[in-house]
Structures are given as C-alpha cells and as structure tokens.
Amino acid sequence: MPKTDTNEKIYKVLAINPGSTSTKLAVYENGQLVVEDVVRHETNEFDDCPTLIDQKPRRMECLMEFLRQNDISLAGLSAVVGRGGLLKPIDSGTYAVNEDMLKDLAAGIHGVHASNLGAIIAEEIGRQQGVPAFIVDPVAVDELEPAARLSGLPGLDRRSLFHALNAKAMARHCARELGLQYEDARFVVAHLGGGITIGAHRYGRVIDVNDGIAGEGPFTPERSGAVPLYKIIELCFSGQYSKQEIKDMVSKQGGMKAYLGMHDLPKVEKMIQQGDEHAALVVEAMAYQIAKEIGAMVTVLEGRVHAIILTGGLAYSTRFTGAIKQRVDKLAPVMTYPGENELEALAQGALRVLRGEERAKTY
C-alpha cells in the first residue's frame, strides 16, 4: 500500500483502459499505485458480440474479478476514470462523463474503438458508488493551429488524432524534471508504438501532429504512414482491392509488417543481429522517417524546443531510439520515457480535479 501523510486526504481512483485485445485496470491512492493488472482477451473472444456495447458485460466481469482477486473494495472510492474514446474534436483536459458523451460513444458517431467503453464502464461504476466518472485527454484532443488544418484540398482538412493521453502525461513529467510548468514549455513528443504520432507541444497545447491512422507521418510497425499518393490512387482503381482492403493496407498491414511479415520490433532486432540486412534497412528507414517528422515539428516550434521526448513501447529499444537520437540530438535535448503509462495518466488527470487543481470540463 502507498504511504500517505496521515493528515492528507486520501483520494482513491479506479482507472480503466479498454483496448481491442486487453482491459487494463488499476487502483491509485493519491496518485500512488496500489494495484494494477492487464486482462488479455483472445482474438476471437468477442466474436459473439455484434456491437461494441455488447462487450460491456464481459469487460465488467473482468473488472469485478480484478477487484475480488486483489481484495479491493469499491467503498471509499473517490472517482472512476476511463480511457476516452473516439469523440468529436475537443480541447485537452479531464472531462466529466455526461449523457452527450455516452450517446456519442455508444453509437460510434465519431468511430468505433474499444476505448469507447472506458467512459461507459466508468459511468456505471461511478453511478453505483455515487462518485464522479471522468475521462482524460482522449485521442480526439484537437488543438491544431489554423494553418495546420489546411491539407492542400478544400474540404479535406487535416485532423488531430493522436496519443494525447500519454503524450501530454510525458510532457508534463519532462517539464517537472526540467523545473518547468507544462504550460510554459515547448516540446516535440514522439509516441512510438504500433501507431506513431509526433506532436509539437507549445505552452500546453499540441498545435500540430500527424494523424496516426489516416496515412500521415512515418511508417510504423503496422501502418503505412505517408505514401506516394498517385500510387495509392492507382491501387484504388486497379480493381484488385476493395475499399476495406486498401484501408487495412494503410492502417493494419503496412509499415514494418508489410516489409518483413511481422510487427514485433524485438523479433526484428534478433533478425538484424543474425545478419538480416533487409530487416536492418527497414528499421533504419522507420527511424529515419521518425527523425524527419521530429525535425518538421521543430520548425513548427520555430526551432525553440526545451526537449524532444521519445515515449511508447518502441522506446524500450535503445538501438532504435539511438538511431533516432543520432539525427535529432543537435536540435534539442532528447528525453526517453519508455512505455505508455496510460493508467497513471488517467489517475493523475482525475486527481488534479479532485484536488481542485483544475476544473472538470463539459463535453
């Protein structure tokens, strides 16, 4: 159990992060981890669920079993916080779950993803316990500058869709290490995972970032990133592929997976150690494209950057981060925070509201 000052009020927060293949759960007291777990879901576990909402009872069972196994009572809970799903574009911050949010997430108006269940499950637990339910920095956070929205074709504006939760949490963490407030700092944050998003953080707002799904930025372990547009047009009208197959090619079957047949960087690095030159070239190219995107975001910040932050699952590889650093470390100090840290970021967002450090926003 975490140690707390006996005179300090104890805020107990349950954090819930549903993903397509997992449900991540944790309990925090005053920002200190009490217990966490990851429930893994088999590939076909939800095949009998026609809609995303149909998964809710099973995810709830996982949550209650997690609490039972760890002898955690919901009594005394101060708040429940869930991963924010695909919502309309909103400012960053901690949001109180409300009916409008629940309706949009349940109907999938802005897209269907397992993270949509985060607010829905949090609201049910919160309602049962009589405590507030929140979400924090969903992927739909949109703080783009007006000039960043124009794509080159009217009606096809660029959108902000990125790893806002972890990117902002790591930016806040880095700011503290540098003796700064996040709202006074300028960072380039690169979230490196199955999807890769690289954003320009200026004084607490992400004023430009590549769309992590729709074919912008560097290629990733399983996404194509930006590709030659004329060649994509040719594929679309070749008659060989359906619309969904082209979308999957860009968002699920591209990048390292397309070149090497796998998206697992540690396995690919073993291939490189065994002398696979093609694998080495693919990983070098991915690092090259990431560095190039970081450089672009440095120009967005007019060359004035307190730090370049590398985070996400790929940041565990010192070989890979080293390949990025050698191209960008002359631009600004490079700070590395491996992993996603999303449960902690959720709990910290809720805690800031509970402590009165910021107000919960309304969706």
DSSP string, 136-157: ES-TTB----HHHH--SSTT--
- Strand runs labelled E in 193-338: 196-202, 205-209, 307-312, 334-338
* Rg of the chain on CA atoms, in Å: 21
CATH no. of 12-141+342-362: 3.30.420.40
The token pair that represents 342 in the structure block = 């999303």
Strands 12-18 and 22-29: antiparallel
Contact 119, 126 (CB under 8 A): no
pTM confidence score: 0.89
Nearest CA to 85 among 64, 116, 123?
116
Pick the CATH number of 164-338 from 1.10.20.10, 3.40.50.1470, 3.90.1150.10, 3.30.420.40: 3.30.420.40
Nearest CA to 63 among 105, 1, 55, 293?
55
Lowest-pLDDT range of 1-15, 140-154, 298-312: 1-15
The pLDDT confidence band at residue 111, using thresholds 50, 70 and 90, is: confident
The pLDDT confidence band at residue 46, using thresholds 50, 70 and 90, is: confident
Asked if pLDDT for residue 5 goes beyond 70, the answer is no
Nearest CA to 158 among 167, 168, 146?
146
Residue span(s) of the chain under CATH 3.30.420.40 come to 12-141+342-362, 164-338
- Give CA–CA dist 194/197, Å, rounded: 10
- Give CA–CA dist 67/56, Å, rounded: 17
The whole-number average pLDDT for the span 308-318 is 97
Residues 6+ apart with CB under 8 A from 67: 73, 74
Contact 309, 188 (CB under 8 A): yes
The token pair that represents 359 in the structure block = 């107000």
Asked if pLDDT for residue 340 goes beyond 90, the answer is no
Contact 341, 169 (CB under 8 A): yes
